[in-house]
């Protein structure tokens, strides 16, 4: 019986630790230009929902960013502006990495592969419309 308790506690501690790191990165991302804040907050909430109800509630009920995080977790929808910004950023930095980084072909193919995967994921997300805004009220 004691053996099964230890992994659960360890798993919970790991989730909380990783969640706190993502929470810190997310908060910094709201202040520092170029660092995405919302995605780290979504990851933090996903980790906290498995480990700490209090920390999860802190993220999703926060006045500054809670609504965006909670809405994404519930619907998976992204605003059109966020989709466009994300796609432009992915491709600008991926292409810059390919042309400016002095690495081997494998690195360039890896970067472009990640850009394609990110693009597919973003395009696959539903686009948040006005109806998404009014459904929650």
Q: Which residues contact 103 (CB under 8 A, 6 or more apart)?
A: none
- Look up the pTM and report it: 0.69
pLDDT at 3: 56
Q: Name the DSSP class of 128.
A: E
pLDDT at 132: 47
pLDDT at 6: 58
- Extents of the domains making up the chain: 2-75, 78-135
Q: Other C-beta atoms within 10 Å of 92: how many?
A: 10
For 62, the token pair is 């926060």
| 107 to 27, 68, 95, 99, 100: CA distances (angstroms) | 31, 34, 12, 11, 12
Q: State the average pLDDT for the chain.
A: 86
**pLDDT one-digit tens code per residue, 48-59:** 999 999 999 999
Q: Is the pLDDT of residue 137 over 50?
A: no
Helices and strands per DSSP (H, E), number in the chain: 7, 2
**pLDDT one-digit tens code per residue, 70-88:** 988 889 888 888 889 889 9
- Return d(Cα 105, Cα 83) in angstroms, integer: 29
Residue with the larger pLDDT of the pair 37 and 94: 94
- Return d(Cα 137, Cα 132) in angstroms, integer: 10
Rg of the chain over Cα atoms, rounded to whole angstroms, equals 18
């Amino acid at each position: 019986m004691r053996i099964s308790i230890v992994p659960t506690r360890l798993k919970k501690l790991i989730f909380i630790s990783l969640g706190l790191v993502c929470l810190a990165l997310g908060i910094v991302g709201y202040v520092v230009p170029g660092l995405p804040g919302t995605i780290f907050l979504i990851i933090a909430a996903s980790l906290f929902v498995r480990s700490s109800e209090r920390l999860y509630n802190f993220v999703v009920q926060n006045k500054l960013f809670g609504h965006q995080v909670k809405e994404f977790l519930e619907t998976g929808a992204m605003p059109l502006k966020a989709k466009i910004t994300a796609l432009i950023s992915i491709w600008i930095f991926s292409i810059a990495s390919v042309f400016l980084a002095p690495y081997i072909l494998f690195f360039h193919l890896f970067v472009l592969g990640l850009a394609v995967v990110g693009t597919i994921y973003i395009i696959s997300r539903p686009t948040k419309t006005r109806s998404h805004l009014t459904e929650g009220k």
